[in-house]
Amino acid sequence: MRFDILSIFPGALRGLLSVGILGQAQAAGLIDVRLHDLRAFTDDPHRIVDDRPYGGGAGMLMKVEPFVRGIETIKADSGSNVRTILLSPQGRLFRQSDAADWARLDGLILLCGRYEGVDERVIGFVDEEISIGDYVLAGGEAAAAVVVEATARMTPGVVGKFDSIESDSFYEKPRLGAPQYTRPPEFRGLRVPEVLLSGDHAKIEAFREAEAWKKTTRNRPELLGLSLEETTEDG
């Protein structure tokens, strides 16, 4: 699978996307990550990518033309089954199911905004506007890295043991992953639950499932349609 990222700071992503399983997946030819400098798609001597917003207001907006030229150039050199995503705090929330769906594509084109955002007309040239959370970042580079890693993990062969993915938070069920433990069995009076040391795989599986739902109720009650007040009242 191919990932194309349009950014004014492509170097900021180079190290992050070349280590761990992402670096190994690229070396093995399982994924192809290409970083593009948005300024390369400008047509003026100063390579300007932003301007003042019409109607006034603070800050600068990113211009529509460089993004559109970048999208069109990348699409001319990519597969037919490609999706273009604008990373934006105004988009719908990115989900694990998106990562699973997008891993079946030939590629993703990810657009990284900066400053006060992008010209709204960019929306007409993308497939979706996606946010990774209810907060605002300085730019879309961190969000692009999140999308690449989450989607790459769902690509066959990237993660050595698919069991690792099946135990992830949000995989198939709307719940968090179960708590995990490793050696030593006791640390400063804190013991690993005895059931995990028992060797009884049926009991271990049941324990992990129950603990996963408990953790979800405590930390992410909205996934279960509960309010924080309801979980507090239940103890």
How is residue 193 annotated by DSSP? P
Question: In sequence order, what are the residues at sequence separation of 6 or more whose Cβ sits closer than 8 angstroms to the Cβ of residue 172?
Answer: 166
Positions annotated as catalytic residues are: 89, 116, 153, 168
Cis omega (within 30 of 0) on the bond before 174?
A: no
Residue 4 DSSP code = E
The closest of 33, 34, 31 to 157, measured between CA atoms, is 31
> Which amino acid, residue 52?
R
How many Cβ atoms sit within 10 Å of the Cβ of residue 168?
Answer: 16
